[in-house]
A and B are shown apart, each in its own frame.
Chain A
Amino acid sequence: MIKILRQIFRTGIVTEPLHPGVDAGIRMSGRDLDETVRKRFRGSLTIRQVDAGSCNGCELEIHAINNSYYNCERFGIHFAASPRFADLLLVTGPVSRNMEIALRRTFDATPPPKMVVACGDCAIDGGVFRGGYAVMDGIANVIPVDCSIAGCPPPPDKILAALLQMTGQGKS
């Protein structure tokens, strides 16, 4: 036990203030979010992440926003195991044909008001997989998307900045 405590004190707090220079580079879609909805989610945002055919690169970076450097929990952002508890679906991948139905069902299972974020280049338009027989070329072709984060994969500071900007917490 003493070793664990020592290691914790030795490490100290590594969490960084969110770099002001980070441009979230997000694209808001035409779907306008009600200002009250945004306000309600501010400081408490529950995310259900759905992999709809990604290569696992985006998942690694989404995991990283949980680590001590980015510490998304300090902004009240946390990940839920079920879509029924979620305010926001964070979707990655070009939507493989085999995930299309599962993605629609997850969307339907999420209680309104809800937001959808397409994370990564292939979530936006299919990326390197675009045009194949087994992909739907982007999340927006399957469920309505509120905002998208470009990058292959987008780095964690960008993902975090985008989530904050969505709920009006970030520096816009």
Chain B
Amino acid sequence: MSALADALSSALGTDAEFDRSPHPSSVIRCTVPREKFAEAAGILKKAYALLAAEWAADETLLGRGFSVFACYRWGKEYLIVRSELPAEDPRFPSLTRKYLPAYRFERQIQSLMGVNPSDHPDMRPWIKLEDWPEDAFPLRKSFDGSKPLPRVDGEYQWSRAEGEGVYEIPVGPVHAGIIEPGHFRFQAVGEMVVNLEERLGYVHKGIEKRFESLSWEEGVKLAGRVSGDTTVAHAIAYCMALESMTGCSVPERAHWMRALLLERERIANHLGDIGGICNDAAFAFMLYQLSRLREVMLRTNDRLFGHRLIMDRVVPGGVGVDIDGPGKTEILSELNLIAKDFERLVQIYDDNPSLEDRVRDTGILTPRKAREICAVGIVARASGLNLDCRIFHPFPPYDRYHELELGVPVMITGDVHARTRVRIQEVRESIRITRWILDNMPGGAIASPFERPSPDTAGFAAVEGWRGEIIYWTQAGLQGEINRCMVRDPSSLNWIGLEQAIPGNIVPDFPLCNKSFNQSYSGHDL
């Protein structure tokens, strides 16, 4: 047994009913009566668990009502607590007072699934904007997803600040740059921000509903477009969740190829981000230099894998691309070039006091707050949380700890500088392990036949994308089709971190802070 499961079974006794079926083996599953749903969260919080995700599923086609799920993580363990809710009265006790990030998850559950968290402090809709009909719950099976929704009148209640000299700055959804849309509302006094409220949902495309109309094989293409910058990691997470449903064994070489693509995606995005952060501190030199290195990587991707961002190259059962001797040599020489130039640029970053003046002590997310919002990925690691699925929840080759010796950088200052520094360190580490992967990659097949999942089974996967942990939870319906595919991008948790980091900073520093978080709008809005 695990620490989390032990804590739960000793406190709840027979009320905690553990699912003993062999798949998915990577997560412990437990069902509790719905009155105990919040109590279970309290018990797990005392056992130091962090909330990783919360979602609901419509199981009416499976002959049940709704189910609500909460996924917790502690060290290497993942545990999913589930409660069944009757279709005619889908209510469950809210977790928001125990776990802060449940605040948005539950608003989202209410808005899109129509399952109601009781005792939730703020029931304004989330993702669903004010002009949606209130009773439209797109994730329900009874909802017809093929026709557009009518628009109705409505108003969003913004949080307000009042007092002498307090003014408000609304920004978005169309921003002043080549970035995704979202709305930010600042309350400021002079230059200092008193409060920031985010409203997201502008790029909501109904991805989770869309999955339900696709076959498992088609789904991977959509998963690769949940967030275009993280296409490899999302595709891997989707495929691994699917493979976990059947216990399908993926060839060793396919795993290694996935890791290779994943690390390339991490390096390319980090290079772009470090440049972007410097550019937002008015140091354009770094942006142009690092975009050049990024472009070199994307071109190698195009030559070797046939796509600059490596979309659609991960498939259920394995991968669709392989690498040969000349390809390996090409990557190695490309990495030598990048590593050399990168080190020179890091030196320039470190030497530049005017840059340091902007990035240090700006946009601080304290370790305490990071823990409270259950941050993941680079944001968590810059704020003292040592989390990385490549260590705590590895797939091959990451499970070879002693040979790989993967170093995970952790900083405690939680400012823009820390988030940049974590990225710098990760680029170095990813370059090193890419070389190691290329030198040690086993031979063999790159894909195994994909098996269809059996009816009413579930799958789970957690993968460390470049932003952080990505979670997929999949459920098969009665014909073995997709009944539900839950996507949790790291942004769902980390956007709250941005909101917490901004107050106390000056308004002109917002773009810099935002870039240092660089969360996905599309991955959050789905």
Binding site for B on A (CB under 8 A): 3-4, 7-8, 11, 14, 49-64, 66-69, 79, 81-83, 93-94, 96-99, 102, 106, 127-129, 131-136, 152-153, 155
Contact = CB atoms under 8 A, between A and B. Distances in A.
Contacts, number: 152
Contact of B309 (A52, A60, A94, A134): A60
B227 A55 contact: yes
B521 interface: yes
Interface string B211-226: 0000000000110011
Contacts of A61: 308
B135 to A, nearest CB: 14
A106 to B, nearest CB: 6
Contacts of B520: 56
A94 B347 CA distance: 42
Contacts of A58: 228
Contacts of A132: 145, 205-206, 209-210
Main secondary structure of the interface of A (DSSP, over half): mixed
Interface string B223-250: 0011111010000000000000000000
A56 B227 contact: yes
Contacts of B309: 57, 60, 153
Contacts of A81: 176-177
B142 to A, nearest CB: 13
Contacts of B198: none
Given A7-B289, A128-B225, A56 B174 contact: no
A150 to B, nearest CB: 15
A14 B179 CA distance: 25
Interface of B: 129, 138, 143-149, 173-174, 176-181, 201-207, 209-210, 221-222, 225-229, 231, 272, 285, 288-289, 291-292, 294-295, 298, 302, 308-309, 311, 341, 344-345, 347-348, 351, 520-522, 525
Nearest to A82: B176
A131 B157 CA distance: 31
B311 A57 contact: yes
A46 B309 CA distance: 27
Nearest to A5: B285
Given A51-B203, A57-B229, A102 B295 contact: no
B351 A94 contact: no
26 contacts: A7-B345, A53-B204, A54-B180, A55-B225, A55-B226, A56-B521, A57-B311, A60-B272, A67-B291, A79-B177, A81-B177, A82-B176, A96-B202, A96-B205, A97-B149, A98-B204, A98-B525, A99-B173, A99-B181, A102-B181, A127-B225, A128-B225, A132-B205, A152-B225, A153-B228, A155-B302
